[in-house]
Amino acid sequence: METSMWLRFSLYLACLLMSCGASAAEILTAVCGPLQGYVLGVGGASDVYKPIEQRDGMSGQTTIVWEIGSSEAQIIAQGQVGGSPMLEKAVVTLSTKDQVSFVVIYPVSVFLYSLFPQRNALLLSRHTHQRGFDFDAARMLALHGPCTIRIK
């Protein structure tokens, strides 16, 4: 998806969520990316359990749509520009004026998204024991990037 189409889709989803909720609800929409950072950890048997430290990133956008005060949010992630977006339900684990954190749990990994509204920034980390067919690794992805945040 091109960037403008992705932004329109994100805004459409935010409008749809706003129309389904209570009229007084405020919706936070954060469009973030690109994200840059590192993969850190220890490789599995195929990597001879060597330490890992390599640059990584996501060129696509990550969009967070959250009804402020609710316990869940929607996260739309597009890892690479032109890639297929994934829609996930996230659990809100921390909510202050300075930071909102969301967790998404998969069968072999956990993602933590921390949004910093006053800094217009997102930190994203993924923890997993899997790499390809290796199930005995210990890997972390740590990324950060800018966001455009709107509250309506």
Buried b / exposed e along 82-93 (16+ C-beta atoms within 10 A) = eeebeeeebebe
30 confidence band (pLDDT: 50, 70, 90): very high
Per-residue pLDDT at 45 = 86
Cis, peptide link before residue 146, omega less than 30° from 0: no
In the chain the beta strands, taken as DSSP E runs, fall at 27-32, 35-42, 51-58, 62-67, 72-77, 86-95, 100-105, 109-116, 121-128, 138-151
* Mean pLDDT value across residues 64-93: 92
Between strands 62-67 and 27-32, the pairing is antiparallel
Per-residue pLDDT at 136 = 86
18 confidence band (pLDDT: 50, 70, 90): very low
Asked if the model's pLDDT at residue 51 lies above 90, the reply is yes
* Mean pLDDT value across residues 23-51: 91
Of 8-17, 76-85, 137-146, the range with the highest mean pLDDT is: 137-146
The pTM of the full predicted model, rounded to 2 decimals, is: 0.80
The gap from C-alpha 138 to its chain's centroid, in whole angstroms, comes to 20
Between CA 94 and CA 123 the distance in angstroms is 14
Q: Which of 14-28, 48-62, 67-81, 102-116 has the lowest mean pLDDT?
A: 14-28
The answer to whether 77 and 88 are in contact (CB under 8 A) is yes
The string of pLDDT tens digits covering residues 102-150 is: 999 999 899 999 999 999 999 999 999 886 667 888 999 999 999 999 9
